[in-house]
């Protein structure tokens, strides 16, 4: 699943991710990407509280113009993530990308984000015999 959206419509586009709509041209047609950490200072991504357990991975490509992120494309690398959880996870890292301080100039950056939300194994209660 691929989703691309410009900065002003990012909240609308997050809802469209689930339906598979495309609101902007795919970034795949752009020139080679650069590692995000080499171009931008991205703050830490906080894992939101969600009612879903599992492993979720996403790849984000972003267009940087004049040192600002102006477009983000998110590709889900794992399937079967509950819709609400997916929206919250994607919002957590796209917000950080939009606030990132980037080097001057025009760039296409890429970064993967992983969330390990697997439940910790519960210890078995002692049985009363």
| 67-82 confidence digits (pLDDT tens) | 999 999 999 999 999 9
pLDDT confidence band for 19 (50 / 70 / 90): very low
Give the domains, in start order, of the chain with CATH numbers.
2-40+54-116 (3.30.2420)
Phi, psi of 86 (to 5 degrees): -60, -45
Q: Are 60 and 97 in contact (CB under 8 A)?
A: yes
- Residue 3's DSSP bridge partners are 74
H helical segments located in the chain: 10-19, 36-39, 83-99
Q: What is the mean pLDDT of residues 7-18?
A: 45
Residues 11, 60, 101, 6, Cα dihedral to 10°: -40
The pTM assigned to this predicted structure is: 0.69
Range from 7-16, 81-90, 93-102 carrying the lowest mean pLDDT? 7-16
pLDDT (0 to 100) of residue 13 = 47
Q: Under a CB-based contact definition with an 8 Å cutoff, are residues 27 and 4 in contact? A: yes
Confidence band, pLDDT 50/70/90 cuts, at residue 32: confident
Q: How many CA atoms lie within 13 A of 38 on its CB side?
A: 8
């Amino acid at each position: 699943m691929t989703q691309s959206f410009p900065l002003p419509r990012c909240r609308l586009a997050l809802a469209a991710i689930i339906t598979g709509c495309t609101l902007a041209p795919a970034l795949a047609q752009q020139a080679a990407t650069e590692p995000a950490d080499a171009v931008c200072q991205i703050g830490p991504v906080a894992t939101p509280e969600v009612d879903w357990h599992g492993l979720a991975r996403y790849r984000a490509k972003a267009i940087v113009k004049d040192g600002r992120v102006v477009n983000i494309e998110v590709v889900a690398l794992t399937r079967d993530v509950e819709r609400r959880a997916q929206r919250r996870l994607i919002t957590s890292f796209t917000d950080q990308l939009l606030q990132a301080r980037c080097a001057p100039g025009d760039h296409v950056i890429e970064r993967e984000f992983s969330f390990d939300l697997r439940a910790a194994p519960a210890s078995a209660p002692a049985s009363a015999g």
